[in-house]
Structure formats: C-alpha cells, structure tokens
Structure 1
Amino acid sequence: MLIKKIDMNLKKINILIFIVGLCLCSCKKQDKDSRPNILWITTEDMSSQLGCFGDEHVHTPVIDQLASKGVRYTNAFATAPVCAPARSSIITGMHQSSIGAHHMRCKGHFPKDLKYLPQYLREAGYYCVNNEKEDYNLEYNALDIWNESGVKAHWKNREDKDQPFFAVFNFLGTHESATNSKKKHLSFTKDLPKEILLQAGEVPLPPYFPNTPVVNELMTRYYNNIAALDRYVDNILNELKQDGLDDNTIVIFYSDHGAGLPIHKRWLYDSGLKVPMIVKVPEKYKKLLPYKVGELTDELVSFTDLAPTVLELAGLTIPEHMQGRAFLGQHLSSKREFVYAARDRMDERYDMQRAVRDKQFKYIRYYEPQKPYIQFMNTPEKGDIMKAIRKGNKEGIIPPMAKRLMEQTKPLEELFDVKNDPWELKNLANDPNYKDVLVKMRKAHTEWSIDVADAGLIPEAILRQWESKFNKPIYNILREEKVPIDLIQEVALGSKVELFEKHILNANEVVRYWAATGIGNYAENLNEETFSSIIKLLDDECSLVRIAAARALCILNHETIAMNILKKELVSIDEWTRLSAALVLDEIGEKAKPVKETLRLALGDDNKYVARVVNHALNVLEGTNNIVK
C-alpha cells in the first residue's frame, strides 16, 4: 500500500510539473509575442517643416494624422548636423566623438566588446531590418548588425510572422541633393498632384537668405520634397495596417538632422540640429508612453536616447556604456537638462565646434575661431543658394542677418536665447546680463567633454595612427592609456605664444601639434629659439607635427624651407595626412605656387576630399573655376 501511495503521489507530482511546464512555456510565448514591434520611419536633411509642427505652407496630411494619434517632441536634437556622425550615435547610443566616428565619412573603429543596437535586439529574438541607408561612420559588416539591410529589407521577410521586429525605413527624397538637383527633385515629386505643389515665392525664407528667384525656387523644391515624404510615410503605414500589425507596432518618425540648406546642415544652430519627432504608441502599450495621445512635449531628446529607448521598449537592460537615456517605457530616469552636439570635419574641412542646449539657451564653443564661419566646401558651394549668398555678399546686398556669417573669423563662444531668438541671430556671450547663463552652459560643456572622453582634439591622422599603434579603438585608448588630456586641452585652447613655445618640444605628438599650430595662428614673428624649435619639428616622427610646423613657417614668411615638407606629405601613404597637407597649401594661397604641379597630380587622389581641396587651391592660384565631384 505504501508503494502504491508513493506511485500515486509521483504521478500527481509529474502531472503538476507537466501543467506548470505548459504554463511556463505558454507564459514565455505570450511574453515574447506581447513585445511590441518597433518601426522607425526616418528622413534625411529635414527640419520641422510639417503641418503638425506649425508650418502652414507644407502639405503633410498623413504625418499630421500620425501626430494626432501620437506625441510630438518639439525639442529633439541630432548629435551632429550631418548624416554619418549623427547616424553613428543613433545606432550605438553614444556620442560620435567618444567612439572616433565624429569626422564625416571617416573610418572609425567601434569597440569589439560593445554592440550595436540591433545586435542586442536580435539576441533577444527580434527580427531586425534596415531599408536602404546605414552610413554609420564606422568600419562594420552590415549583416553582423542586421538580419537584412538594403532596398529589399522588410519585416515581411521574417519566416515566423509572430516574431517581433525592429524595422527602419529611410526616405532619401528630402536630402540636399534632391533640393539642389532639379532632375533628382522631379524624380521624387513627379507623381504628386499639381494642386498640392507649391510655387516659387510661396515658401518663407530664412532671414539670412537673399530673396532671389533661384533661392525661392530651391526653397520650394525643398517643401515639395517634404510632400513626397508624406506619401512615402503613407505607403509604409498602409503596409503595416494591411499586415494587421498596426495595433502591435510602436512607430517613431524623425529626421536625421536639420534641413539640407546652407547654414542649416553642417551647422550647430537649431536649423542644423533640431528635428521633428513623432511617437505613436498603440493602445495596448499606452503604459509605455509618458504622455497623452495628441500631446505636444518640449522634453529634451538626444539621438543618443534612441537606442536606450528601443531597448527599454523591448524589455531589455540598457548597457552602462550607452550615453543616452530612455524617454519611453516604464523605467525612466529623470529627464535631461541638456542635449549636446558636435561638429568636426565636414567633408573636406576641419572646424571643431561643440554645442550645449537646454530648453531656453544654446551655447556654442568654437575650438578653431581663426577659421571663417563658412569655409569653402565643395558640396554646399555647388548649390545655388550658397552661390546666391556668396554673390550677394560680394555685391553687398545680402540681408543684415547674413553679414555675421560671412566673417573670416569666429568668436570663441556664442550664446543664444533660442526661445526669443529662434534663428540664433543675437550672440549674448558678451552681454553681462547673461553671465551666469554663460558660466552654467560653459560648465555643462566641459563636464560633458570629460564624461564622454571627447576625442575631438586628437587630429584625425594621429587618432588613426594611435589606433594602429595601440591596436585598439580611440574609445579604449582615452580610457586605458596615459594620454595627457589636460595639457592637450590647455595648449589647443590657448592663445599665448609663450604657452606654445613652452610645449613645442613636448613628448606627446598631439601637444607638439597644437603648439606648432598655435604659433602659426598667434605669433607675429619667430625669435631665434622658437625658430630653431620649429625647424626641428620639420623632422618630427609624426607627419601632422611636420605639417603644423611647415604651416607656421609659411604663415610667418619662411615658406621656402617649409615647402618640401608639404610637397612630400601631399603624397603620403596616409590619406588624412595628405588631406592635412592639402589644406595648408590651400590656406597659404599664392605661396603654394612652387608645388603647383604636385597639386595637379593630387587631383587624382583616391580620397575625394583631398582632390576637392587641391582643386580649390588650384582654382585660386590659376583663376579658374574647375569642378570636381
């Protein structure tokens, strides 16, 4: 009898275990199936010209309807005013200058022990697709990141239709090229009804654009391209409904940075950084949305917040290395006080700038104030609006608000009250009434630079050389190696010749580089000892130091002894060294005549940025107007 009782009890226990197992499996499946799909609809080069954001001219009924069912974020900001660096932040949740991805189309190295956003999602069972554009400014294999990436990538391609997905669809038609090129513009707008197309003169101009027919025409193209975007969004949302996924998918719409127009894209003003963002959360997930449907919020959002937010929505732990915060979900930290942004090499021109913004004020720090507000850059200069600005400045007929932007140097700092001065026209940095605000914003910038280990002051060629030397990304180098960051900052940001003379032969090559650069920027002549030190640097082991020394000699009228160095570095095996040499030769103008033939040969450089700078230098030297891609 005892054995029978034991057997019966064992059977009951086994049945109970089986039932519990079934419940657990069911719960796991239910948990998996209950996770939201996440859809990003992104567009390029667009500021907040949408009906739902208050623009009365643009035709965007679909996006406006999406906003009525979601939440509009009026203070969403890119981390950079150009696509590749901004997209590196989006996909990693980290500021681009902390991972060596800050220069346009550079070849940064992401730490091997860290992961891109989709990799975390794929490990958790999500199907991750990216339709068309990546451009992460890092060396990577797309299929290590995504299940699919390309024009055919789609959530429809997943075998298990119950599998949750993360999908990104990117619209190309608002890119600056579709504004500057009539042919490209028409390819995106040809199917739009004529009655919704705006005509030249019906679109408002920024206060610093000259009011000319060609400027009005291009601004109208830009607005009509946005109408084409509206149709694109409509198609994707209809696909979502047709697949029965509308009630299971969180939709986030945003642009990758500001409008593809001069003094917008590539600039740290709100015109280049502020983007429209709309979040639509289905009813079943409304607990994940901290606002009411149809609401408008001025909460500050950074592109570094997108990755943490998606992980939070998917119920995953946010890695500590991510530098953003989740702004959707149930487990939210306190809201931001500031957002941060950076500009470094834009196409072929270096000009390190940093910005900090809260809800009322914008602070901009110019690390290279001796450079013009608007350096000549091949791509924007080919656009008709930039041509109109240059022409208007030459003829003295540009709007007063644009004159500041034509200056050949910049202030060290700018401060704007963006609530009352949304076009950022009045610099308050020297206004004593805003001293406390300036100090606060300056402090926020300094603390952020230290916190993320901003690599901006490490010249690009040296940065890449260090990565090869230490066999690790700059992110790790700045945290694991003995880099004299404080001294680098002191010398790079200094303005006293005595400081540069003191450190010109420092053991660290970055310090030597900035000391030689500082002498070129600030010295009026060279005493015997400094001249001797500069001559020594012409034989420095570091190519960038040699170039900086040669530049200083050229500026101070000793170009004869420096020209061989620049000529030699222009054909270096290192592409960023070649670019640096080309930039100096372009900067010194007529003094570069002795190396004209070498410049001409460099027009065929594999690095298109080198070719662009060389072409500009030759145009100046020869009075030509040749064009390169």
Structure 2
Amino acid sequence: MYRDTIVIYMSDHGEMLGAHGGMFQKWHNAYDETVRVPMIFHNPELFRGHKQTDILTSHADLLPTMLGLAGLDEAKLGRELAKTHTQVRRLVGRDLSGFLLGEVPEARYAADAIYFMTDDNIFKGLNAVSFLGTTYTPVDQPNSVETVIAHLPTGADGAIERWKYSRYWDNPQYWTSPGVQDIQTYVPGLVNQPGERVAVTTVKALNPTSGQVGPAPDEFEMYNVTADPAELTNLADNPTYSTQQTTLANLLNAQRTAKRLVPVNQPWANGSAQQLPFQPAAS
C-alpha cells in the first residue's frame, strides 16, 4: 500500500507571529508569512531522491497535479461529469506532475503568475455578540484581499524580479443584504442586561442616500519581493514605479477573470433566471 500511495503534505496558511507591526494569525493579508506554505510530494516509486524548487505554486494546482500523478485525464473526466452536471469547467490550476516527475523543465513555469484571494472574516456573522455578552465591531473595511504574484524584467539589465501586488476591497457579496446594503449595529454594554442604552447602527450601500455610507475605498500594496523580501516598503502609488503598478493591476484583472469563476446564469425549472454571486469589478 505504501508504494501505491502518494503522500502530499501541505498547509492551508502560515502564521504572522508578530511580523509587520505585531500581526498574528493569518487574516486580511497576503504577506509572505501567511501565504508561503509547504507543498511536499512523496512516493518511493515515482520520486527518487530529494528535490526542491522556488517556482510559484498555488493551492489551485493541487487537484490537477493529483490527477496527473494518478494518470487521469481531466478532459475525459470532465466529459463524464457533464453527463450528470449542468456546468463543468476546466480546473484553473496547473498540472505540475510533469515537473515533479522530471519530464518538464522548471523554466516552463517561470513566467506563470499566481492569483490569491481571501474573503475570510471570522468577526462577521449572524450576530456580533461575544461569549461575554457584549457586541463588537468587525475588522475595518476594506478587508477582502486579492493578490497577484508575478515576475517582471525590472532588475539590472532586464533581470527578472518577483513582485507582489495586493488589492484590499470591501466585497458587497458579504454584506448583510449582498450587493445592496450592509447594516451593522453596536450596542454598548452587556446585550442581555436590563436597562436602556443607545445603539449605534451604520447602513452602508452601493449607492448611499442620506444617512448612509458608501463602500470603503480600495487600498493597495505593491512590493518588489526580490529586493524587499520582508515586504517592508510599499511601492503602491509611488510615481517611480507607476509602470510596474499598471502592469500588475492589469495582470491582477486578467488573473481574476481567468480564475475567480462563478456559475453561469441558467434558468430554473420555472423559467426564472438564477442569480450570480457578486463578481469583483476590475480595479
């Protein structure tokens, strides 16, 4: 059984451990401490010796690579699934099995960009009441993140350097009324304690009217990771690097379009149209 088993060791996220000014856990960022995780493959028959690489990889590459190592054809599997499912898409990740088996050179993947996104917000749910019985406010917006990591010829004599570009945005899909408005109420003191208190309610809308607020504006980070591996100097909106920012912003839009996929509208049995989840606009 051991020789017929491919062991894959990965992690879902890293840990900040106080980096970047005292941050902990892994939420609301795309720093190296959070997104750099192990991806280790082992099988005594397929892999001889030990090899490592610095190519960019993604969790989205895992399933295509597993299929490739198992000798399964994604297109054939897709045709089978299409017999019983209304929509079947090609997997957005890459099949790295050829590289792992020594059949494809590392250079094949050198130019590939990686797209990362997270809308993970554990501080927002059906209610915002702690186990102590007090209300709390969610993490300040914008707190959804999408990032592109890519290589650009920006070094001396056109040398290739690694860049990271992150967009922080207020995603209306996760508002209390998705895509319409977000209502947050804060009550000082213990919620279940008798007595009067003044509650503060904030209403956010895509098209705010009197007494409402609009979405938080986008914020950006951009790092030359080759020159600044600790990601300490944010180059976003620095005129000296406007060309790089334009290139990376366009690449982020292209990566989102290719990889952040949602179901295609199809009619229900009664003829009404299904609604797509909110899709982030180009930045």
Are residues 1:361 and 2:122 paired? no
Equivalent runs, 1:415-564 vs 2, <5 Å: 415-453=222-260, 472=274, 474=276, 489=281
2:146 matched to 1:344?
no
Distance 1:473 1:345, change over 3 A: farther
**1:175-214 alignment, distance < 5 Å:** none
CA contact (8 A) 1:339 1:357 kept: yes
Cα drift, residue 274 of structure 1: 1.2
Q: C-alpha distance in 2, partners of 1:451/1:470? A: 27
Rate the CA distance shift 1:412–1:420 in 2: closer, same or farther, 3 A.
same
1:576-587 → structure 2 map (5 Å cutoff): none
In the superposition, relative to structure 1, how do residues 410 and 423 fare at CA in structure 2: closer, same or farther (>3 Å)?
Answer: farther
Contact 1:263–1:271 (Cα < 8 Å) also in 2: no
Judging changes above 3 Å, is the alpha-carbon distance between structure 1 residues 246 and 339 closer, same or farther for their aligned structure 2 residues?
same
Cα drift, residue 294 of structure 1: 2.3
For the aligned residue pairs, the C-alpha RMSD in angstroms reads: 3.7
Q: How does 1:218-297 map to 2 (within 5 A)?
A: 245-259=1-15, 262-266=23-27, 267-282=29-44, 284-286=45-47, 293-297=49-53
Please tell me whether Structure 1 or Structure 2 has the larger radius of gyration of its CA atoms: 1
How far residue 356 of structure 1 moved from its aligned partner, in angstroms, is 0.5
How many percent of aligned residue pairs carry the same amino acid? 29
Letter in 1 for 2:259: V
Structure 1 or 2: more helix by fraction: 1
Distance 1:473 1:274 in 2: 35
Change (3 A) 1:421 1:295: same
Distance 1:412 1:454 in 2: 23
CA contact (8 A) 1:271 1:423 kept: no
Task: Letter of the 1:269 partner, please give it.
Answer: Y
Whole-angstrom distance in 1 between the partners of 2:255 and 2:113? 10
C-alpha deviation, 1:258, in angstroms: 1.3
Q: Report the alpha carbon displacement of residue 332 of structure 1 after superposing the two structures with TM.
A: 6.2
* Corresponding residue to 1:301 among 39, 57, 62: 57
Paired with 1:470 and 1:253, the residues of 2 have a C-alpha distance of: 45
Aligned residue-pair number: 182
CA distance in 1 between counterparts of 2:2 and 2:146 reads 40
- SS of 1:445 mapped into structure 2: helix
Structure-2 residue corresponding to 1:96: none
326, 337, 341: which one pairs with 2:95? 326
SS in structure 2 of the partner of residue 362 of structure 1: strand
| 1:301 partner SS | coil
Output the amino acid matched with 1:447: A
Which amino acid counterpart does residue 340 of structure 1 have in structure 2? Y
- Counterparts of 1:307 and 1:473 in 2: how far apart (Å)? 28
Q: What aligned pairs does 1:50-69 form with structure 2 within 5 A after superposition?
A: none
Aligned to 2:127: none
CA distance in 1: counterparts of 2:224 and 2:14, whole angstroms? 19
Q: In the alignment, is the contact (CA less than 8 A) between 1:355 and 1:362 conserved in 2?
A: yes
Deviation at 1:276, TM superposition (A): 1.7
Given that residues 14 and 37 in structure 2 are in contact (C-alpha distance below 8 angstroms), is that contact kept between their aligned partners in structure 1?
yes
